[in-house]
Chains A and B, each alone.
Chain A
Amino acid sequence: MATPQAFIDTGELDELKNPLGERLWSLARKQPLGTAGALVVVVMAFAATFASFLTPYDPVVNSLEDMLTPPNAEFAMGTDEFGRDILTRVLFGARTALFIGLVAAFLGATIGLVLGVASAYFGGLFDLIVQRIVDVFLAFPLIIMALAVVATLGPGVENVIIAITVPFIPQCARVVRSSALSIREIPYVDAARALGYSHARIILRHMAPNVMAPFLIMLTYFVGQAILLEAVLSYLGMGVQDPTPAWGLMLKGGAEEFLESAPWLSIFPGLAITLAVFGFNLFGDALRDMLDPKLRSR
């Protein structure tokens, strides 16, 4: 017969005893890539929040006498064809990317969560109809869906958020539903029903909190994808409009034209997109490893 201690993860007890610093260090050693990703996310959030204090330049005001200056002590990443400091636009671009990324990812994942849990909870015809609609949406690649939405609604920040949110909903709904199906069979859901709780209460208060692990993983994955999608849409001229600083927008137009004579126009926003997406993906992977009990024990 197993002793009671056999049911306790001693590692968890250690974590509870240790101060925050030590726990973070322990986590960093266990998840070096995830920590690197988290660092990128933190740096990006910091840059986005404090962009105005980090640079003496304005991201939209032209300074034509400084046009196409290569990186130097004055302009660390050089200037673009309108003499605007690239570093300043990259920092402010982080604000645009994070705002769109977080809002679209949160909306897409949250609506998907509710839809997925509801689909699993109700089952039957409702589940069948919802899942077939989800199948239709999943048949299209993300970018095609986003392009279709933005082509219908037109460019602009609000429409880009909608365009990115829409394809995320079925993705999250499908993943969450599979988790919620097993939760539906757990007796406490029956108990909640027996107590006469409403469907909404059961879905939102009893089932949804128990599918937080896949939700959070999807959420972080979506932020990276949303940043990439925003950049793609802006690059295609269907997203954020000039002179708003946005990484995808910085890559098009002048950057294409001056690829040879002023490569810094495309290198730095390109790097920013790559790092941000990479960071969010690593962070999401680490989060999945931590939240998934099967992967956590490895």
Chain B
Amino acid sequence: MKRYIRAFRAKTVASLLLGGAVGIGFCAQTATAETAQLGGTLDFVVAGEAPSKDGHRETTYAIVHPYAPFYSLLIRVNPDNPQSSDFVCDLCVGGVPEPTNGGKTFTFRIKEGVKFHDGTPLTARDVKATYDRIVFPPEGVPSARKAFFNMVDSVEAPDDTTVVFNLKFASGAFLPALATPFNWIYSKKDLDEHGYDWHRDNVNGSGPFKFVQHQPGAFVEGVRNDDYHHAGQPHLDGFKAIIAKKMSVRIQAIRGNRAAIEFRGFPPKARDDLVNALGDKLRVQESDWNCVLLFTSNHARKPFDDPRVRRALTLAVDRWGGSKYLSRIAIVKTVGGVVFPGHPLAASEEELVQLAGYGRDIEASRAEARRLLEEAGATDLTIDYNNRDVDQPYKVVGTWLIDQWAKVGVKAEQHVRPTPQFYAALRKSHEFDVSIDFNCQSVINPIADVTKFLGSSGNNYGQYDDQVLEEIYGKLARAPTEDEQRALMRQYEKRALDEMAHMGISLWWYKINPHRSYVKGWNIAPSHYLNQQLDNVWIDKSLM
């Protein structure tokens, strides 16, 4: 089993190197040479309002950015090097433990003396109660990432400082799942006394900042937790997360120094405008982004139950050309398959060009698309096309896809819907032929991330059941070596994107974070969910 763990670690080191090459290459910050200064309040802008305050049930960055600083995790992605999947302890002691029992048992020692913000001591029993709520939620209690933990058999807390995770089978996906930034440790007392809905409206964590107030539609405010369990942190006196839905407002907030940073990401033009306006008062960090925009066909509607029609749609899309131009106007850039580009399990360019719609000769692809449509009796096809009313990158890529399909004679009637109605169309009414879809993950964990393409997955909206794909995934999830995982991943990719063309991938996102240069200690991650506790962030007053 150590071979399994070694294989996983080898992948993470490789992804560190590859991801770092992109991300750190752009990071002008070198926090290592500087001494963190104490004090100051960090004002940052957030594009959306959190639907609730409960991280266990929510999936949006709009909750992570303002509320993650109030909480601790058991383990987390290294805040000093978030480009990697290099996990470090947050509430546990020492390093992330090696598994025992053939990779099926993980034993964590919990820090002593940690307190929740209400003064209650944090023990292993709180960690167990938290993971019981996430992994084994009672019926009716939502847990957005329950499926990440399908390998977990039980969680035990034999004493106040020990937590044991017993797995059903060894899995390289366990530690990344554990480090997911939504797994905030709640107090057992709160869960027992107030129930599972209490955290929707209340905050009681053990993180670097204490909750002060939430003004709906305006801001969330936090103040330094003097009892924080990482010595010498946090550096800031507090923070204010200012809610600003319009991107132009967020850009102007940074430009006018009403906010120092926005953690999700801006498009290239906004970066250029800010750089031109602010010069050396601005720093820009960039990274590949563990987010991909997809288009999902509704297999329950004709003629999208026909793989030839679905293949035609993916064959029509010029991904290489799109990457070249769209990367100038949108937060997308990288051409890739089902796995985060650059990861050892991701397809190489030579492998990618073998897939439908990834060939370098777009005219040949489109000729094949027209032939398939004709063969399927679907010429003059008009698509009921569902899109989300968010400019970046949904509407930009959505409009580009309409043009791509038009080139093979397919007309798309776009219905741009606000987020709740967009999700309602995907999840409940299924009123679409083809819909923009996405797969955004936090910790890079390809074996878990690619479940999006399974018909049985909770976040798959294609309404299909492909047992061949399920079987390939079953083998992939248990494959012990990287070589085997890689080979199975290619089979999986070929089946999902080419043979059955269940979904089409457009482009992977590209993260651009321009921020005031006085913000120090924050390093860009390949996800807008990661590295948001802000305990290592500080303000360089000499640059203000």
Contacts and interface: CB of A to CB of B under 8 A. Distances in A.
Contacts of B157: none
15 contacts: A61-B403, A62-B400, A81-B329, A154-B415, A155-B416, A237-B416, A241-B415, A242-B395, A243-B414, A254-B396, A257-B247, A257-B248, A257-B329, A258-B269, A261-B273
B328 interface: yes
B514 to A, nearest CB: 14
A60 B416 CA distance: 17
B325 A64 contact: yes
Interface string B375-416: 000000000000001010001101110110010000001111
A67 B414 contact: no
Given A81-B396, A155-B416, A243 B402 contact: yes
Contacts of B322: 64
Contacts of B418: 237
Interface bin, chain B: 20 to 34
Contacts of A242: 395, 398-399, 402, 414, 416
B88 to A, nearest CB: 38
B248 A259 contact: yes
Interface string A263-295: 000000000000000000000000000000000
A246 to B, nearest CB: 13
Contact of B321 (A64, A82, A257, A259): A64
B272 interface: yes
A62 B403 contact: yes
Given A64-B325, A81-B396, A243-B399, A257 B415 contact: no
B270 interface: yes
B419 to A, nearest CB: 12
Interface string B317-333: 00001101110110000
A82 B400 contact: yes
Contacts of A254: 329, 396
B267 interface: yes
B391 A253 contact: yes
Sorted nearest first, the 5 A-B pairs with minimum C-beta distance are: A64-B325, A62-B403, A81-B329, A241-B414, A242-B399
Given A68-B329, A155-B416, A241-B416, 7 more contacts: A60-B406, A81-B329, A155-B415, A237-B418, A253-B395, A257-B267, A261-B269
Interface string B412-440: 01111110000000000000000000000
A25 to B, nearest CB: 48
Contacts of B324: 64
Contacts of A60: 402-403, 406
Interface string A223-236: 00000000000000
Contacts of A154: 415, 417
Nearest to A244: B414
Contact of B328 (A62, A67, A237, A259): A67
A65 interface: yes
A12 interface: no
